[in-house]
A and B are shown apart, each in its own frame.
Chain A
Amino acid sequence: DFVMTQSPDSLAVSLGERATINCKSSPSVLSSRDNKNYLAWYQQKPGQPPKLLIYWASTRESGVPDRFSGSGSGTDFTLTISSLQAEDVAVYYCQQYYGSPLTFGGGTKVEIK
């Protein structure tokens, strides 16, 4: 099975500052067939379902603000919020969809400092 490890577990960032969340996969989620990384990022606010932010590691879902960006390849990935807004307070999850079972990281809670 694919193991997804996120870090940190939580972080507090000042409004307008950058937030960076890391995700490591084991094994790699980069497909040699199509050269795509089968990795997504979700945002979940309290009492709400997850919301897709990023897929193929770096493709922003329609309607997602451009302050959210994804990067990385193979086994190491990053979600960056370039300028944290109050509405970005949430838990963020990475997820691999390379193979079954689909697996999520443990989540990173983002708060305002």
Chain B
Amino acid sequence: EVQLVESGGGLVQPGGSLRLSCVASGFTFSSHWMTWVRQAPGKGLEWVANIKQDGSEKQYVDSVKGRFTISRDNAKNSMYLQMNSLRVEDTAVYYCGSGLGWIFDFWGQGTLVTVSS
């Protein structure tokens, strides 16, 4: 059974940092693109970042460039999102997803990040 499990969310003050993790099982992790998508409370879906199978390509939405870093460790079947200089507007549920290309067909249940003083 394919599973993606996110962790690392929580409450952080503006300007603070968090590192999200996504652990995969049930499929060949190293063969899949991985993505982070977020959803602010009561709002729609917003794509955050993608990373290629071998980590050689990464893309980010403009609003997080220079603050967030996506990475992966294929030996650990894991993907990460290092979030620095967090802002109130980064408050959201963060979902990780996987796909053979940029069509993401498996998703985790999400982890909530709250940025507030």
Residues of A within 8 A of B (CB): 38, 40, 42, 44, 48-52, 55, 61, 91, 93, 95, 97, 100-107
Q: Which of A49, A97, A100, A104 has the most CB of B within 10 A?
A: A49
Cβ-Cβ contact count across A and B, 8 Å cutoff: 51
Per-residue 0/1 for B45-62: is the Cβ within 8 Å of any A Cβ (1 yes, 0 no)? 111001000000001111
User: Is B37 at the interface (CB under 8 A from chain A)?
Assistant: yes
Residues of B within 8 A of A (CB): 35, 37, 44-47, 50, 59-62, 95, 97, 101-105, 107-110
Closest to B4 in A: A49
Contact B103 A97 (CB under 8 A): yes
Are A49 and B44 also in contact (CB < 8 A) when A101-B59, A102-B50 are?
Answer: no
User: Which are the 8 A-B pairs with shortest beta-carbon distances?
Assistant: A49-B107, A97-B102, A100-B59, A102-B47, A107-B44, A55-B103, A104-B45, A52-B105
**Chain A residues in 8 Å Cβ range of B37:** 50
Shortest C-beta distance, A98 to chain B (Å), equals 9
Contact B109 A49 (CB under 8 A): yes
